[in-house]
Amino acid sequence: MAQDENRSDGAREADHVERAEDVPAATVGAGEEAGLAGQVRSADLVADVNLAQGVTYTPGELRVLRTGYVFRVNDVIRGEVPGEYVTVNDTGGVRPDGSTVSTERSFRLVPGERYVVFADRVGGELWLREVLQVHDDGAVVADASGRVLVGFQEGVPLAEAEPTFEALRYVRPVARASAPMEGPPDEASEPLPDQQGGAALEAGRHAPVDLGAVVDYLRAAQRQGSAPPDVLPGQGGGSSPSAAGPPVREPPHNIEGHSQESEPGPAGAGTAEAVLSGNYVTAFQSHFHFLPNDDNWAWSNHCRGSWNALVDNRLGLFAYKITTSDGQPIRDRLPVAGNGQNNVGVLSNAQMTAGGYDTWDVLSANGVCYTWTSGNRVTETDILVNPAIAGDEAQFRKTLTHEYGHALTLGHESARMALLYPGTFRQPPNHTSLWYSRADDHHGVRSMLDWVNANVAEGTWSVARFTDMATWSQAHAAPGTTGNLVMTRLVPETVARGGTAAVQFVHVENRGNVPAQNVRLTFYLSPNEVVSAGDHELASFTWNTFTTWWSGSLTVRIPTSVPAGQYFFGWIVTTDTAERSSSNNQALLLRDHTSGFAKVRVTVT
């Protein structure tokens, strides 16, 4: 049975969990542009560099680690560098004993290696925002997760489905096999539309784009102010500028502090064995909270519940601290970094500094999960939410559920339909559900829990078995490749009675681990936002058995009996198998985040 390894010493405190069931939901706002094309235009510095040295230190007023990376500059793509070297700061680092402190956005870079770095200027200092790995003298470029880039589409890099190189992260998920896509429904369906890059990747491995092609693409994105023409798999190549790069020399000593490279931790820390096993949790995490706002506290319950559904352990994966005298949750405890206690809170910049954390200006995020590890085991997680989004119910729910995923060792996932996709503002509010974690997120956590049971202590986790069909107003543009999440769409949106339309980027999944039987996906036109079986049915598609997920395009026909007018377009998925939740079985056609996820009105003529 999993035990709480961060239990408070105070006899007046105890742990509690509420199994918050999934119930109906709310709305959200917009955010910045996605993809490398957008990042190169917003960054203050983009450069091809070699890492000369990484110096880990703790600023005097903080309790977390930072690393100052000193790079030798080979080529500047955007911005200016006054000399031969440039220092870029990052959150996170490694202590002399091999333990780590980091966030999900922290990069763990290696001296002597070559990178393309993206950095923003905050208060006169440069802070790392994105990194690409450069290998084989510039012949191969990979993303931060280690996936080799093979092209670009709509400003987003296309990469191989599985990593070839180590991820540039301190916390790395346990290795897992990809969940294969279901076959199409019994009725005819079509692949996802206009995804030549994704289709090419599915056909097999392709030659990587080299550093020259990447630099050319980024420069074109900066000049044009929009995404350059696509570079699809097989069209890569490039001029390979400065292929080998100059040798790395000793940089000027412009940072004082402890160098993690010059004084490594104990033998075995950060070795290949650690990479193979990944990081893990062996106990439920019971958090102290600073959520004085009643709405934030109420919303947080379903964020925990979405993950707690994965185990049958008494206190789940996430519990919260209560006072034993009255059983009330502790909601007024300001978090303190690195104190051996788990924390959740909505903190201002001043409160972040007082608790020993970086400010939101430095972090540049809606939320963050600071993670402490020792020997690959997670020992503390502090989950913090930016007050700028704390009043937006849907965005708060998405952000906090996302950060809980990081507390369970999940990294960002840009190759599949997942809540852990970087940038939750791009994901629409659920139509009738308050659980935001997706099937891919669950698959990753189950892989970690199974690994703990097999390699650390048998029976640590009682992995729950259930069925839970779900559908969303969004799909991944090319599953298995790094790419965009795109909204489901109807083409055309004005249709004559008796005419047909294509429903593109449909996504259906089973969030559980027990196959669903006799699954039916039905599309409707509704005069209001409440889609039901009593509305105008357009088409229905079935699977005899449904185990994982399916994305694709389907064709619907408008019955001649439908009166002319405007309608909402929605769909419902059902199954004969008992489900963990039925609140996530409906979705409604929406615009993307740039229009505030406006509901689409379909015109029937």
By mean pLDDT, which of 12-21, 40-49, 424-433, 493-502 is the weakest? 12-21
Whether 31 has a pLDDT exceeding 50, the answer reads no
Residue 392 covered by a domain: yes
Of 502 and 189, the one with more pLDDT: 502
Specify whether 500 is located in the same domain as 574.
yes
Specify whether 42 is located in the same domain as 144.
yes
pLDDT band at 309 (very low <50, low <70, confident <90, very high): very high
pLDDT band at 231 (very low <50, low <70, confident <90, very high): confident
- Distance separating alpha carbons of residues 245 and 74, to the nearest angstrom: 6
Range 550-577 average pLDDT: 97
395 neighbors 299 (Cβ within 8 angstroms):
no
Specify whether 496 is located in the same domain as 557.
yes
Range 529-541 average pLDDT: 95
Specify whether 98 is located in the same domain as 184.
yes
- Distance separating alpha carbons of residues 150 and 210, to the nearest angstrom: 9
According to DSSP, the residues that pair with 568 across neighbouring strands are 526, 601
Q: What is the largest CA-CA distance in the chain?
A: 78
Residue 322 covered by a domain: yes
Look at residue 226 in the predicted model and tell me its pLDDT.
77
Specify whether 289 is located in the same domain as 376.
yes
Query: Considering 214, 229, 263, which residue would you say is the last residue of a domain?
Result: 263
Look at residue 275 in the predicted model and tell me its pLDDT.
30
Specify whether 217 is located in the same domain as 302.
no
Residue 144 covered by a domain: yes
Residue 487 covered by a domain: yes
* pTM for the predicted model, two decimal places: 0.89
Look at residue 235 in the predicted model and tell me its pLDDT.
66
Q: What is the CATH number of the domain that holds 481?
A: 2.60.40.10
Report the relative pairing of strands 565-574 and 474-476 from DSSP bridges. unpaired
What's the mean pLDDT when you consider all of the chain? 87
* Amino acid of residue 26: A
As given in the structure block, the two tokens for residue 129 are 């925002």
Whether 247 has a pLDDT exceeding 60, the answer reads no
As given in the structure block, the two tokens for residue 487 are 């909204």
Q: What is the CATH number of the domain that holds 336?
A: 3.40.390.10
Residue 56 covered by a domain: yes
Query: Considering 427, 455, 483, which residue would you say is the last residue of a domain?
Result: 455
Range 286-290 average pLDDT: 98
Residue 438 covered by a domain: yes
Residue 429 covered by a domain: yes
Residues of the domain holding 524: 469-604
Specify whether 449 is located in the same domain as 533.
no
Specify whether 448 is located in the same domain as 474.
no
Look at residue 192 in the predicted model and tell me its pLDDT.
62
Report the relative pairing of strands 66-78 and 45-57 from DSSP bridges. antiparallel
Of 243 and 288, the one with more pLDDT: 288
- Distance separating alpha carbons of residues 368 and 359, to the nearest angstrom: 11
Look at residue 174 in the predicted model and tell me its pLDDT.
86
Specify whether 281 is located in the same domain as 259.
no
Q: How many domains does the chain have?
A: 3
Look at residue 308 in the predicted model and tell me its pLDDT.
97
Q: Which residues of 141-180 are buried (b: 16+ CB within 10 A; e: fewer)?
A: bbbbbbbbbbbbbbbbbbbbbebeeebbbbbbbbebeebe
Specify whether 426 is located in the same domain as 444.
yes
Range 484-489 average pLDDT: 94
DSSP for residue 600: P
Report phi then psi at 68, rounded to 5.
Answer: -95, 110
Range 468-491 average pLDDT: 92
* Amino acid of residue 15: D
> DSSP assignment of 5-57, as one string?
TT--S-TTEEEE---PPP---------PPPHHHHHHHH-SEEEEEEEEEEEEE
CA 534 to chain centre: 37
pLDDT band at 241 (very low <50, low <70, confident <90, very high): very low
Whether 146 has a pLDDT exceeding 50, the answer reads yes
- Distance separating alpha carbons of residues 102 and 358, to the nearest angstrom: 11
Query: Considering 263, 291, 323, which residue would you say is the last residue of a domain?
Result: 263
Whether 577 has a pLDDT exceeding 80, the answer reads yes
Look at residue 50 in the predicted model and tell me its pLDDT.
98
Specify whether 231 is located in the same domain as 284.
no
Whether 44 has a pLDDT exceeding 70, the answer reads yes
Look at residue 256 in the predicted model and tell me its pLDDT.
31
322 neighbors 14 (Cβ within 8 angstroms):
yes
Specify whether 324 is located in the same domain as 210.
no
Residue 460 covered by a domain: no
